[in-house]
A and B are shown apart, each in its own frame.
Chain A
Amino acid sequence: MASPVAQFQVKPIFPVVPEGESLPFYAFTNSSVAMVAAVVVAAVFFWLATRKRAMVPGRWQSVGELTFEFVANMIRDNVGKEGMKYFPFIFTLFCFVFIGNMLGMLPYSFTFTSHIAVTAAMAVFIFVGVTIIGFARHGVHYLHMFFPHGAPLATAPILIPIELISYLSRPFSLSVRLFANMTVGHIMLKVLAGFVIALGAFGFIPFIVVGGITVLEFFIAALQAYVFTILTCIYLNDAINMH
């Protein structure tokens, strides 16, 4: 029986190997296929949603508008009207993570968000971007974020390191939250599926459990995409409107 972590292996499909070397310097992997599939699904969905610009929306247009409003309300509630200029980025982020998580629930597919490399790339990009936005908007005054207004000056030697560490831990928590949720969910599904075979005639009990956990995993996939996006909005709010 295969190991439950074999599903996360990145397999190169079209490696590009330079002359005289043995390792490819770039390879189009199953992870790349999953990401391209997510982009294609998003593009096709929004093409269908925006084909007829009817005043009374049809079904596709309705869902497209619902998604748009969902993310737009998220940004307006958490960042304010100024945050809407970052709407394309946040919307892309939400759709990419959401569709990526959902596509990973299909059997034999690859969940590209289950790799720390992918989620860390996104999280570091968000962290560096938000820090740059903060400094660009407020200048050196942005450093005042690490010393909340109205705290007594004597607490500064303790408060500032704590605030600094919790600020620097943001990309870690953001990336590990998404990657760990996806990885653990899929490992759990595989391990329980192994029980179905191992129990033989009584295999229907773990089968029912696998069914229930799959429903949970769909929900967690959507929730993690939402939490990733809303935490990005909250960090953006910290940068744009400091407290």
Chain B
Amino acid sequence: MEAEAAKMIGAGLAAIGMIGSGIGVGNIWANLIATVGRNPAAKSSVELYGWIGFAVTEAIALFALVVALILLFAA
């Protein structure tokens, strides 16, 4: 197999790792919505952690995407 084709396949495989982050981010927002639904007064105290948690979980997806981009553009 030539290197170019192997890079494309590798990039595709690396991007599959983003599935976990999708589940994680959905988890965070689902719990945030459920929390605010049960106790609307708690919105201001959990909203902050919702955003921080989202950014940190999204970073995991981007670690996988960085591997894919390195394969596509830098190797």
Contacts and interface: CB of A to CB of B under 8 A. Distances in A.
Interface of A: 3, 5, 173, 176-177, 180-181, 183-184, 187, 223-224, 226-227, 230-231
A223 B55 contact: yes
B59 A181 contact: yes
A230 B69 contact: no
B66 interface: yes
Given A177-B62, A180-B62, A180-B63, A187 B69 contact: yes
Q: Name the prevailing secondary structure of the A interface residues.
A: helix
11 contacts: A5-B69, A5-B73, A5-B74, A177-B55, A180-B59, A180-B63, A180-B66, A181-B58, A223-B55, A226-B51, A227-B52
Residues of B contacting A: mostly: helix
Contacts of A226: 51, 55
B59 A183 contact: no
B51 to A, nearest CB: 6
A230 B56 CA distance: 11
Shortest 4 CB-CB contacts between residues of A and residues of B: A180-B62, A177-B59, A227-B55, A5-B73
Nearest to A173: B59
A176 B59 contact: yes
Contacts of B51: 223, 226-227
A224 B55 contact: yes
A183 B54 CA distance: 18
Interface in B31-74: 51-52, 54-56, 58-59, 62-63, 65-66, 69, 73-74
